[in-house]
Structure 1
Amino acid sequence: MFWRALSELTPGPKWAGLFAEYWPEYRQWWLKEGEAARPTYGESRRALVEHMPEMLELYDELCELAGGTDQAARFLSFHCPPPYLAGCSQAIWPGKEPVLVRNYDYNPLAFDALLLRTGWQGRQVMGTSDGLWGLVDGVNDAGLAISLTFGGRRIVGKGFGVPLILRYVLQTCESAEEAGKVLARVPTHMSYNVTVIDGKRRYLTAMMAPDRATLITHAAVATNHQEHVEWVSHARFTATVERERFLIQRMRLHRDPQEKFITAFLKPPLYSTAFDAGFGTLYTAVYRPGKREMELRWPGTIWPLSLKNFTEGGRRILVPGAA
């Protein structure tokens, strides 16, 4: 798998080139249930106006860069996309300089493998791309870091794909409290656990769902269920309960030092090799919100990145089942 780290402070030719490169496969995925299963452009735009009005100007700019077609604009709205599942573990290691650590478990053939640093709307953001402007984790220049895990429920409803919600949080929020308010009001089309931590060491985890109110908690650990397991077969396959218990023990009973805690994400039971089933660990991310820095990690490899001193580049990572 070849990873790229790219920087473009305002939407321009780099982003347009990425969209042209990725759009054929994204279009195939977006249409897999038929075009009629996806909302119209009018419905998608109205949803953005209602729930994320601050993003509208940026959305229009990206749509134009993407060619201005109806399908591209509907896709970029992230409104009611096809359902998708991921694994993932995430936790906040407490301390004087807390860190947010996460494993992203997903299909290597359906992944951007792209780290973007943007300065859109005057806000600098760095994070792991999904859908080319959505994010599955990231940090902004206010020192707010965020990450998601799948919530372990089958229900699909009317709402946005969660990567755009994470982008929205990082574009508009500076504190965990502000992020919690956004996560409580913006509708999601599937269930997700979203953890945020700000520059003042305040954190929360929002348990989001399409069919019930978002639950804002002070949980420092999130895997692939919410208050209790609801999708038993998925929970067993992904070992969500076992991973949650393991992380809680590392934090409460063993009180691992920071580096030992981070390296635990690169080993079982947190690290997964179930790539054939679409739930292999594609990377470990370590966010240091106080420093506006992050690291991408794999066994034997650390790639440090800084929001302030961002360096473009690429890394080829050997992942079973990935090109």
Structure 2
Amino acid sequence: MTHPDTLTFHLIDEPEPGPRWQALFAALWPGYRAWYLQDGDAARPGPEHARAALRRHMPELVPTWSALVDLTSGDPVAARMLTLWDPPRFLPGCAQVAVPGPDPILVRNYDYHPDLCERVVYSSRFTGRQIIGTGDCLWGLLDGMNEDGLVASLTFAGEAGSGTGFGIPLVIRYVLETAGTVAEAVAVLRRIPVHMAYNITLLDRSGERRTVLVRPGAPAEVFELAAVTNHRGTTPRDPAHAARFRSVERQRALLSLLAAAPGPAAAVDAFLRSPLYNTEFDRGFGTIYTAAYRPAVGTVEYAWPGSRWTLGFDSPAGTHEARYRATGAAAA
């Protein structure tokens, strides 16, 4: 299948869920509904079970969830899906690094299939904290930063299987809504059940950084490792999966980048080159965007071959035409 060379990314600036979110839901709900029910309705949790899980583990998000459900006209399937409790599996690739210094920066590549990316940046104040980040699952986040200077970003940890817990985009949202430092974020991640294994890299304004490996039915593991791809620590538990996604090779490139102590511009440029930039788009392993969060200055820069889009918490709503496939980009 051939995809266009450009995608349009949208910045939604909406403090509380409103007409912009409702338009997003109308555009994307048919696809999300099909994804959510792909294994049949009985495979997903019932409405009371899903609602109870959200109330138990993420009570701060319940008022926002209720407002979202109202904007769907009370769609019962949407109400269940929006809790992201026990959703279907999803396995993005990704790579990320947290670079310390007076201007600390977290840079990440989101590697997935172009058709499965919302292409939305959302700036919000759902629970009072201002947050900007890359949207997924209609109100979750793949990566983001809050006004306190906490940054969080995810990568799949390369472990097969799933269990009982929340889909990771809502976990990233919840961390940024309820924590202001790396230490506070680690405490949140230790108690939230997740349905698949992920590495979550954290950075705050002070330069503190940690990576937390979360997995279903197991305690979270906390690493000082600041360069992660798609396996646990530095030794994959599933060597075949790691080899398929060149996970060790990409992590070694990140560790070399860290050792070079790059400035923000050099760090971003490295993510647009092989082996960090990937072009296997049709197989769900192409770099859809690079995001660089700078908590000391409160900005996120989205980067693609040939263009940049720098945003802050108060940037006005708008769009950016992004070229994500370029002649001479990293070979698959």
Name the TM-score, length of structure 1 as normaliser: 0.96
> Which residues of structure 2 form unaligned runs of 5+?
1-6, 327-332
Which residue, 239, 245, 254 being the options, matches 1:238?
A: 245
Is 1:285 matched up with 2:291?
yes
Query: Which residue of 2 is the match for residue 41 of structure 1?
Result: 47
Query: Which residue of 1 is the match for residue 157 of structure 2?
Result: 151
Query: Which residue of 1 is the match for residue 3 of structure 2?
Result: none
Kindly state the Cα deviation for residue 60 of structure 1 after the two structures are TM-superposed: 0.9
Q: Structure 2 matches for 1:106-255, cutoff 5 A? A: 106-227=112-233, 228-252=235-259, 254-255=260-261
Residues 143-201 of structure 1: CA distance to partner in whole angstroms, max 9, x if unpaired? 11110000000120000000000000111111111100111110110000001111222
Query: Which residue of 2 is the match for residue 316 of structure 1?
Result: 321
Percent sequence identity over matched residues? Answer: 41
CA distance in structure 2 between the aligned counterparts of 1:318 and 1:32, rounded to whole angstroms = 31
Q: Determine if contact 1:184/1:216 at 8 Å carries over to the other structure.
A: no
CA distance in structure 2 between the aligned counterparts of 1:290 and 1:260, rounded to whole angstroms = 18
CA distance in structure 1 between the aligned counterparts of 2:217 and 2:97, rounded to whole angstroms = 25
Residues 38-88 of structure 1: CA distance to partner in whole angstroms, max 9, x if unpaired? 001111111111111111111111111122121000000000110011110
Kindly state the Cα deviation for residue 261 of structure 1 after the two structures are TM-superposed: 2.2
CA distance in structure 1 between the aligned counterparts of 2:107 and 2:134, rounded to whole angstroms = 13
CA distance in structure 2 between the aligned counterparts of 1:199 and 1:317, rounded to whole angstroms = 28
Residues 99-119 of structure 1: CA distance to partner in whole angstroms, max 9, x if unpaired? 000000011101100001011
> Which residues of structure 1 form unaligned runs of 5+?
none
2:300 aligns to what SS in structure 1? Answer: strand
Q: Determine if contact 2:305/2:323 at 8 Å carries over to the other structure.
A: no
Kindly state the Cα deviation for residue 311 of structure 1 after the two structures are TM-superposed: 2.1
Kindly state the Cα deviation for residue 320 of structure 1 after the two structures are TM-superposed: 4.9
Kindly state the Cα deviation for residue 273 of structure 1 after the two structures are TM-superposed: 0.2
Kindly state the Cα deviation for residue 142 of structure 1 after the two structures are TM-superposed: 0.9
CA distance in structure 1 between the aligned counterparts of 2:226 and 2:214, rounded to whole angstroms = 16
1:120 aligns to what SS in structure 2? Answer: coil
Name the TM-score, length of structure 2 as normaliser: 0.93
CA distance in structure 1 between the aligned counterparts of 2:306 and 2:265, rounded to whole angstroms = 14
Q: Determine if contact 1:127/1:139 at 8 Å carries over to the other structure.
A: yes
Aligned length: 319
Query: Which residue of 2 is the match for residue 3 of structure 1?
Result: 9
Q: Determine if contact 2:99/2:258 at 8 Å carries over to the other structure.
A: yes
Query: Which residue of 1 is the match for residue 329 of structure 2?
Result: none
Q: CA RMSD in A?
A: 1.3
Query: Which residue of 2 is the match for residue 276 of structure 1?
Result: 282
Kindly state the Cα deviation for residue 317 of structure 1 after the two structures are TM-superposed: 2.1
Amino acid at match of 1:233: A
Residues 201-221 of structure 1: CA distance to partner in whole angstroms, max 9, x if unpaired? 212110011132110121111
CA distance in structure 1 between the aligned counterparts of 2:137 and 2:310, rounded to whole angstroms = 23
1:121 aligns to what SS in structure 2? Answer: coil
Amino acid at match of 2:66: D
Q: Determine if contact 2:289/2:324 at 8 Å carries over to the other structure.
A: no
2:219 aligns to what SS in structure 1? Answer: coil
Which residue, 273, 287, 298 being the options, matches 2:304?
A: 298
CA distance in structure 1 between the aligned counterparts of 2:67 and 2:258, rounded to whole angstroms = 44
2:17 aligns to what SS in structure 1? Answer: coil
CA distance in structure 1 between the aligned counterparts of 2:105 and 2:262, rounded to whole angstroms = 13
Kindly state the Cα deviation for residue 269 of structure 1 after the two structures are TM-superposed: 0.2
Q: Please, which moves more after superposition, 221-230 or 131-140?
A: 221-230
Which residue, 85, 88, 97 being the options, matches 2:94?
A: 88
1:248 aligns to what SS in structure 2? Answer: helix
Q: Determine if contact 2:110/2:289 at 8 Å carries over to the other structure.
A: yes
